[in-house]
Amino acid sequence: MADKLIIFDTTLRDGEQSPGASMTRDEKLRIARQLERLKVDVIEAGFAASSNGDFEAVQLIANSIKDSIICSLSRANDRDISRAAEALKGANRARIHTFIATSALHMEKKLRMSPDQVFEQAKQSVRFARNLVDDIEFSPEDGYRSDMDFLCRVIEAVINEGATTINVPDTVGYAIPELYGQFIKTLRERVPNSDKAIWSVHCHNDLGMAVANSLAGVKIGGARQVECTINGLGERAGNCSLEEVVMAVKTRKDYFGLELGIDTHHILAASRMVSQTTGFVVQPNKAVVGANAFAHASGIHQDGVLKARDTYEIMRAEDVGWTANKIVLGKLSGRNAFKQRLQELGVQLESEVEVNAAFARFKELADRKSEIFDEDILALVSDESVSHIKEQYAFVSLSQHSETGERPQASIVFTVDGTEVTGASEGNGPVDASLKAIEQHVKSGAEMVLYSVNAISGSTESQGEVTVRLQNSGRVVNGVGADPDIVVASAKAYLSALNKLHSKAESIAAQG
Ligand code: KIV
Ligand code: ZN
């Protein structure tokens, strides 16, 4: 069998631990479906014991996704492990990922446990988990800063108890590629039963080396699983980015010599979906998925690429989902052309009802905007009215007036559970006035912790995409709205965030 690198995606668990990146259950399912299309081997769907919201999300994903292994994180205790097993019951293939810290610092200061207590708890937990599920991953948290002798002892014991994957986290992003690679290699050489488990790497990006460290763990250390997230989402500076690690292994197959199961054509759509859902904008110069990743601005480069693409291109943009022809559809385009474009973009709507709703939105937009870009289509399908999430609040219309030297005023019509209401207010600017007009009715008491506007396709003719992040009683939600009028986009984003804030399905970010 070819030497395969397993891709373990933790966008929905470690990615969601990023402050402000919380996702609703339905959003998580949507992303999980995209990860399945990408042919990710393992999806870490959440941390079932951390909240009811997370339990339900893991359960929903386990019941809905058929091709990927579905995993839940769990602390090394019977209650967490039972909860994870319960949430994973419906999965075709289930994995429990249990962890306990092994570094002297974490054991003493955080867990207040002796090394012997940690050793026993690790062993006991894997034994308990193995009675519930066959596929068990064990992580010694802060593994890279742990004592080598102690770590070898713990790992040998948990493999004996039935752990099938051993993941060695660089929890705080402290590693250096060569040293981390050597660390994994030494562990594999010193643990007597190391050949009974698959070795995995899990690197954080605090020093900007998560991808390099993961690749060194693979190349030098012999790891055959990489844990990563879409867009490198994750706590602090994030995790190893899936798109970068996958494209490095694919593009430099001559060096790594490894097979991947990933269908890279769906990478861009996954990146957009995660960015739009969380409000974490992708920087333009981000490798693989940034807007400039395949743009050649200098004359010399453009000339070279026109003569022979490989003068300056090491990957084909199409292979990760970019399209050469960016102006795709217009007012006269029919439903079939629209549907085909969705397929080419790697977007699969759940039902014909959703396709019809998306097509209706597309027609509305095409009436107001002559050129519809791929970015417009991707924004449009992420709209809640397309995915038929039950909306408490829905935008109807807005008018606003602003003039130099005068205080802007806005009047907005929106529905609350289907009944139209009108609000009017003034504010510091037209956006402020519009959102205050909404609050007149809703009185959410929420604090706005982020407001950002992005031109979807780069010019003033493009749609504005607005992200609003609201926080209330410990809950953090993101709302996104797109429209050629950024004041309208802002009102839509605000209403979308309010819908999530008031939704029962809302989950609170899991904390590891
Ligand atoms: O970074 C880390 O140590 C983790 C573990 C829970 C695997 O995310
Ligand atoms: Zn982590």
Give me the residues paired with residue 448 across strands: 470
Mean pLDDT is lowest, of 24-28, 46-50, 95-99, for 24-28
Closest CA relative to residue 95, chosen from 39, 34, 157, 48: 48
How does 355-379 read in b/e, with b if 16+ C-beta sit within 10 Å? bebbbebbeebbeebebbbbbbbbb
Give me the residues paired with residue 451 across strands: 468
pLDDT tier for residue 511 given thresholds of 50, 70 and 90: very low
Taking the C-alpha atoms of residue 474 and residue 106, their distance in angstroms, rounded to an integer, is: 26
Residue 349 has pLDDT above 90, yes or no: no
pLDDT given at position 474:
79
pLDDT given at position 327:
53
Mean pLDDT is lowest, of 137-141, 348-352, 353-357, for 348-352
Mean pLDDT of 249-269: 97
Ion ligand 2 — residues with CB < 5 Å: 14
Residue 369 carries which DSSP code? -
Q: Are 323 and 374 in contact (CB under 8 A)?
A: yes
Alpha carbon of 49 to ligand 1 centroid (Å): 15
Mean pLDDT of 8-17: 96
Residue 367 has pLDDT above 50, yes or no: yes
Percent residues over pLDDT 70 in the chain:
94
Alpha carbon of 125 to ligand 1 centroid (Å): 17
Burial (CB count <10 Å: 0-12, 13-18, 19+), residue 352: exposed
**Where are the extended beta strands (E) located within 360-418?**
372-373, 393-401, 409-416
pLDDT given at position 389:
55
For residue 17, give the ligand 1 atom closest to its CA: 8
Around ligand 1, the residues with Cβ closer than 6 Å are 14, 99, 139, 141, 169, 171, 202, 204, 512
pLDDT given at position 507:
43
Q: Which residue has the higher pLDDT, 467 or 370?
A: 467
For residue 512, give the ligand 1 atom closest to its CA: 6
pLDDT given at position 164:
98
Alpha carbon of 121 to ligand 2 centroid (Å): 20
Residue 510 has pLDDT above 50, yes or no: no
Mean pLDDT of 262-290: 93
Residue 131 has pLDDT above 90, yes or no: yes
Alpha carbon of 171 to ligand 2 centroid (Å): 5
Residue 387 has pLDDT above 70, yes or no: no
Residue 479 has pLDDT above 60, yes or no: yes
Nearest protein CA to atom 2 of ligand 1, as residue: 171
Closest ligand to C-alpha of residue 174 is 1
pLDDT given at position 346:
67
Nearest protein CA to atom 8 of ligand 1, as residue: 14
Nearest protein CA to atom 5 of ligand 1, as residue: 141
Helix (H, G, I), strand (E, B) or coil at 35: helix
Closest ligand to C-alpha of residue 167 is 1
Residue 170 has pLDDT above 90, yes or no: yes
Distances in whole angstroms, Cα of residue 411 to Cα of each of 194, 347, 394, 401, 480: 67, 35, 15, 9, 21
Distances in whole angstroms, Cα of residue 50 to Cα of each of 46, 261, 410, 507, 510: 9, 31, 42, 10, 6
Mutate-to-test residue for ligand 1 from 144, 171, 225, 511, highest number of ligand atoms within 8 A of CB: 171
Mean pLDDT of 456-460: 73
Residue 233 has pLDDT above 50, yes or no: yes
Residue 505 has pLDDT above 70, yes or no: no
Alpha carbon of 141 to ligand 1 centroid (Å): 6
For residue 167, give the ligand 1 atom closest to its CA: 7
Taking the C-alpha atoms of residue 360 and residue 268, their distance in angstroms, rounded to an integer, is: 24
Residue 350 has pLDDT above 90, yes or no: no
Mutate-to-test residue for ligand 1 from 12, 14, 229, highest number of ligand atoms within 8 A of CB: 14
pLDDT tier for residue 12 given thresholds of 50, 70 and 90: very high
For residue 204, give the ligand 1 atom closest to its CA: 1
Q: Which residue has the higher pLDDT, 122 or 311?
A: 122
Alpha carbon of 101 to ligand 1 centroid (Å): 9
Mean pLDDT of 10-19: 94
Mean pLDDT is lowest, of 123-137, 432-446, 475-489, for 475-489
Alpha carbon of 510 to ligand 2 centroid (Å): 12
Alpha carbon of 50 to ligand 1 centroid (Å): 14
Alpha carbon of 147 to ligand 1 centroid (Å): 17
For residue 143, give the ligand 1 atom closest to its CA: 3
Residue 383 has pLDDT above 80, yes or no: no
Mean pLDDT is lowest, of 26-30, 160-164, 191-195, for 26-30
pLDDT given at position 328:
63
For residue 139, give the ligand 1 atom closest to its CA: 7
- What confidence tens digit (pLDDT) does each residue in 21-46 have? 889 898 999 999 999 999 999 999 99
Closest ligand to C-alpha of residue 75 is 1
pLDDT tier for residue 385 given thresholds of 50, 70 and 90: low
For residue 142, give the ligand 1 atom closest to its CA: 3
Mean pLDDT is lowest, of 135-149, 239-253, 480-494, for 480-494
pLDDT given at position 307:
79
pLDDT given at position 329:
77
Nearest protein CA to atom 7 of ligand 1, as residue: 139
In this structure, the strands spanning 135-141 and 94-101 are parallel
Q: What are phi and psi of 87, to 5 degrees?
A: -65, -30
Alpha carbon of 417 to ligand 1 centroid (Å): 41
How does 151-182 read in b/e, with b if 16+ C-beta sit within 10 Å? bbbbbbbbbebbbbbbbbbbbbbbbebeebbe
pLDDT tier for residue 509 given thresholds of 50, 70 and 90: very low
pLDDT given at position 384:
57
Closest ligand to C-alpha of residue 99 is 1
Q: Which residue type occupies 428? A: N
For residue 169, give the ligand 1 atom closest to its CA: 3
pLDDT tier for residue 129 given thresholds of 50, 70 and 90: very high
Residue 338 has pLDDT above 90, yes or no: no
Mean pLDDT of 476-491: 92
Mean pLDDT of 312-339: 80
Alpha carbon of 169 to ligand 1 centroid (Å): 6
Mutate-to-test residue for ligand 1 from 13, 80, 95, 139, highest number of ligand atoms within 8 A of CB: 139
Mean pLDDT across the chain, nearest whole number?
91
Residue 374 has pLDDT above 90, yes or no: no
For residue 172, give the ligand 1 atom closest to its CA: 1
pLDDT given at position 380:
80
For residue 13, give the ligand 1 atom closest to its CA: 8
Residue 187: which H helix or E strand, with range?
A: helix 177-190
Closest ligand to C-alpha of residue 144 is 1
Give me the residues paired with residue 137 across strands: 97, 165
pLDDT given at position 508:
42
pLDDT given at position 80:
98
Nearest protein CA to atom 1 of ligand 1, as residue: 171
Q: What are phi and psi of 73, to 5 degrees?
A: -75, 155
pLDDT given at position 19:
82
Alpha carbon of 380 to ligand 2 centroid (Å): 32
Mean pLDDT is lowest, of 46-55, 186-195, 227-236, 336-345, for 336-345
pLDDT given at position 354:
85
Mean pLDDT is lowest, of 9-18, 70-79, 464-473, for 464-473
Mean pLDDT is lowest, of 100-104, 161-165, 267-271, 275-279, for 275-279
Q: What are phi and psi of 407, to 5 degrees?
A: -80, 125
